[in-house]
Amino acid sequence: MNLATKYRPRTFEEVVAQTYVKEIRLNQLETGDIKHAYLFCGGAGTGKTTTARIFANDVNEGKGSPIEIDAASNNGVENVRHIIEDSKFKAMDSEYKVYIIDEVHMLSTGAFNALLKTLEEPPSGTVFILCTTDPQKIPDTILSRVQRFDFTRIENESIVNQLQFIIESENEQGAEYTYTTEALSFIGKLANGGMRDSITRLEKVLDYGDDVNMETVAQALGVPDYNQFVDMVQAIADFQATSCLRILDSFYMSGKDLKLVIRNFTDFLLDICKYNFVKDISMTQLPEHLEDAVQQFCKDLTADTLLWMLEEMNELSSTIKWEPNAKPIIETKLLLMCKEG
């Protein structure tokens, strides 16, 4: 069993963050004010499907199981008609028949139209929980007939706490894992506020080695070599064309996708620019150990210079997007940037 499944919450109390969602759901369970249709919106890994399963279990006092449908692969009219026909029959082993439709935004227009009639006149004892990462793709006619809950991205501190809990729980069961808080924090940043993705990334690192530190995270997850990015920024700032080309060639000879390198380098420059304004490394995607280097860049280089680098790399990233051989175009851009000095 993978860690994301093993440590998936089984109760509302175990769900990390999403406080207002949990409070409203618990209140509805206590008062018996159960709606016939809900819409759970939010980024990947923020707890939508997990919360839907917990609610389905609690509303039926642990009896029966929800009926789960993945709309990404069951998005046609016939799939929805099957659900509609099935919903006409009362649940045999529980009070409510609960349908969880994941990635509901993937339903076809015809499927949404077929579902609309059932949401307008729902069968007694039936609850629909629609989950989506893309609510703007759902027709207004559907949105007006559901109670909507927006799941927020999870704060990095909460993710770090959960990853620490998982590692320590595994150690209590015989594992001998070690970790640094910086490495766990960086894993959380890479997951963009998604708990499931954070746990999945942690498992990849643990498969690589028992020590979760910045080095093993970088090797296991294939994150950029930030030290080379630091050197590249300095080389551009000093208008050292030879150094720029050598760093680029190092990426190339190591088998890196240069288009991805430039995208990552652009993100790196964006984070430096953000830090230059907010002076808070937690507001960036950068690991904490780079703060001293980033601080130095912000002292040595003007905001205009940093933004110039960012604009040039943004332009370059767009230029090479569909190019089969990006290396000479990247080299030309670096030479031109160094020539400006």
| DSSP string across 28-47 | HHHHT---SEEEEEESTTSS
- Residue 41 above 70 pLDDT? yes
Check pLDDT > 60 for residue 159: yes
Least confident interval from 17-26, 49-58, 152-161, 209-218: 17-26
pLDDT greater than 60 at residue 195: yes
Rounded to an integer, what distance in angstroms lies between the CA atom of residue 89 and that of residue 332? 68
Q: Where are the beta strands (DSSP E) in 103-202?
A: 126-132, 147-151, 178-179
Q: Which residue segments constitute the domains of the chain, with CATH numbers given?
A: 18-151 (3.40.50.300), 156-221 (1.10.8.60), 226-339 (1.20.272.10)
Q: Compute, in degrees rounded to 10, the torsion defined by CA atoms 297, 299, 301, 304.
A: 110
Distance CA 164, CA 81 (A): 45
Q: What single-letter amino acid sits at 107?
A: L
Tens digit of pLDDT for each residue in 259-269? 999 999 999 99
Q: According to the model, what pLDDT value does residue 333 have? A: 96
Of all residues in the chain, what percent carry a pLDDT higher than 70? 99
pLDDT of residue 335 exceeding 70, the answer is: yes
Give the rounded distance of the alpha carbon of 132 from its chain centre.
13
- How far is 289 from 196, CA to CA, in rounded Å? 25
- Which residues are CB-neighbours of 249 under 8 A, at least 6 positions away? none
Taking residues 108-118, report their average pLDDT.
92
pLDDT of residue 341: 52
Instruction: Supply the mean pLDDT for the chain.
Output: 92
Confidence band of 302 (pLDDT split at 50, 70, 90): very high
Question: Alpha-carbon distance 258 to 317, whole Å?
Answer: 10
Cβ atoms of 310 and 285 within 8 Å: the answer is: no
Nearest CA among 6, 52, 60, 12 for reference residue 32: 60
Q: Residue 18 region, left (φ>0) first, then alpha (ψ -120 to 50), else beta?
A: left
Burial class (CB in 10 A: 0-12, 13-18, 19+), 304: exposed
* pLDDT of 340 strictly over 80: no
Strand order in 147-151's β-sheet? 67-70, 97-102, 126-132, 37-42, 147-151
Q: 116: buried, middle or exposed (CB in 10 Å: 19+, 13-18, 0-12)? A: middle
